Amino acid sequence: MSTISFEIDPLAVLGVGDDASLEQIRDAYRRKSKLLHPDVGGEEWAFRILAQSYEILSTARVQKAARAEPARTAPGGHAPHPAASRDRQANPSSETVRGGFHDADLPPGRIIAVEHLCVRYLWDDAAYLWLSQKQSDEERFLSCSLNLRWPDEGTSVHSLAEGEADEILAALRGVFATMAASADVVTSHANEEDDEFAGWLTYRNFERSWGALKGMHRELRARGLGLRQWSRDLFIPKNWK
């Protein structure tokens, strides 16, 4: 059986420039969803392409802005980034950020930065109550992803012992490849450049992505590595009419 594959340009699909902000990307997605969503007569395949384009661009934007992610928490602490409170107050239905766990017992050079990004549908209280009782978890999420980066913010490979960077990259490469082979993974991508690693793994819902995050944590700890993790939720409307 033959297959046909093609590449999509997410910028062209959404009609935004390569310097578009997350808000501009989200607004473009909402506008086109009103035309392409199956609930308003659109084709499902076209909406899937639109949704994938939104996922690609929103993930890339988050990775680009990683320098502004939540501040380090104290050992065992879960203090949220100050911007998270500002986001919730300014626009409670668009984006929230929460601090997570941090393996502060390991040297900074052996810490992998991981963002748990979930794109969730936004429901009113009545609709969400009905949904939570009768619909699958997939109906509440467009996608969830684990976005990885090493070295972590503020650290450099030059601070590591000779050969340590190669050891860490080899371990991280192996863990990522194992996770990417899981049946739960929808899409994955990794890149290494100048002794730096960046990648993402996407999942259909929170439960699968959170389970994968815990599994990744165990695998990294077994190799003498750790995580600094935070969570970001992006909310989009479910009803387009």
Q: Which domains does the chain have, with CATH numbers?
A: 1-64 (1.10.287.110), 83-237 (3.30.70.100)
pLDDT digits 0-9 by tens, 5-25 = 345 688 888 899 988 888 888
Dihedral of alpha carbons 175, 176, 180, 183, sign: positive
Q: What mean pLDDT do residues 100-118 have?
A: 93
Q: What Å distances lie between residue 177 and 149, 170, 200, 236, CA to CA?
A: 15, 11, 11, 31
When mean pLDDT is compared across 39-43, 121-125, 170-174, 216-220, the lowest value belongs to 121-125
Between 169 and 202, the higher pLDDT residue: 169
Instruction: Name the most confidently modeled range: 93-107, 195-209, 224-238.
Output: 195-209
pTM, two decimals, is 0.62
Query: Rg of the chain's alpha carbons, rounded to an integer?
Result: 19
36-45: long-range pairs with CB below 8 Å, 24+: 37/240, 39/239, 39/240, 39/241, 40/240, 40/241
**pLDDT tens digits along 112-168:** 999 998 877 665 443 443 344 444 455 566 678 899 999 998 888 888 999 999 999
Residue 106 has pLDDT above 50, yes or no: yes
Minimum mean pLDDT range among 4-18, 164-178, 197-211: 4-18
